Amino acid sequence: APQVPAAADAPSGAASDLGALSVNFAGGSLAVGAGLAVGPERPAIQMGGAVGRSVSRWLGLAPQDTGLLLASTGGAGVATMFNSPLGCAAYVVETVVKRVDLRLSLTALGAGAVAVGVSRLVTGRSVNFAVDALPVYHFGQLVLYLLLGVLVGVLAYAQSRTIHAVAAVVQRPWLPHVARAGLIGAAAGLLAWQAPGVVGTGEAMVQSVLDGELLLSMLALVLLLRFLLGPLSLAASTPGGYFTPALLLGALSGALFGEIAGMLLPADTVPPTVAFALVGMAVALAAIAHAPFTGILLTLETTGAFVMALPMIVAVFGAIAVIRLLKSPMLSHGLESMDQGDRGGQQT
């Protein structure tokens, strides 16, 4: 899990900062290149934190201001990955610092805006996923979105439980870290050989789902494979996060729900499948990360589908209610358990 504020207590020399940048860049690239179902945001967070630490040292900031800057520059890494400055600010508040503070909010917004502005100048793209124009939804269709939120909330609960179960196994020193990572990488490579589109961050597959390229049976199969591959990939303990895989999980489950709803209900009462996929993306990220505002804002900005704001809010409400009732564990705790297990294994 992102531990940006704690980075203020880490060695802060230039060599340490350069090392953090190099390790996270190389490790994240190798993990994604190997086909592991991890996202690039976790290395980006740590790289942003390293940059913030260097700036803090150069400016001679006080420890409290250093922590604020590290959280904001780490969040700017998320903003860059997803073209989402508002999602960046929400991420910092909801998952990193976990408190609302005006100075923090302004710093996070500023860092995210600058990072996204530079990224757009370099890449030339303002959204990560292209979506065709969507029809205006009817008020009665919000019931379907609420039901989708409840179902994806249950799926997110199951995914979080699976991640924590894998973390419990990882904490046992039954297999050296390097050997475990090698076996998981080999399994991902074998899957990539048979189905190259299924592995990796899942960004290309998200676009395929939004374009309506997957049939009902394929949606179900890929959903099952990604549900299992995600926790296994995290168990390799390579630099990588779970935001992009969560977006894919949500897109698949939302599209699957939309296809089934279209078969059972009159056509003129059911929104297009892509609308359910978009809402599913926001719901899955919000529910797995326990970050409703992050899930909604990041999905809206990374797709540009702002017309879906209200359906996303309704669906995320249902999902968060479910995970609260089920006492779903936080994703960050599972990732921290895996990291602690690896450190413990290296010390024995």
126 DSSP 8-state letter? S
Give the predicted TM-score (pTM) of the model.
0.84
User: CB-side exposure of 205: number of CA atoms within 13 Å?
Assistant: 29
Other C-beta atoms closer than 10 Å to the C-beta of 15 total 8
Per-residue confidence of the chain (348 residues) as pLDDT tens digits?
Answer: 444 444 444 444 544 555 555 655 565 566 666 677 787 777 777 777 777 777 877 887 777 777 778 888 888 888 888 999 998 889 888 888 887 778 888 888 888 899 899 989 988 888 899 998 888 788 889 999 999 999 999 999 999 999 888 877 766 666 677 777 778 778 877 887 888 888 888 889 999 999 999 999 999 999 999 999 888 888 777 767 788 899 999 999 999 999 999 999 998 889 999 999 999 999 999 999 999 999 999 999 999 999 999 999 999 999 999 999 998 877 665 555 555 555 555 443
Report the C-alpha gap between 225 and 229 in whole angstroms: 6
Question: What topology is assigned to 139-347 in CATH?
Answer: Clc chloride channel (1.10.3080)
Domain ranges within the chain, ordered by starting residue: 5-123, 139-347
Cβ-based neighbour number of residue 165 at 10 Å: 12
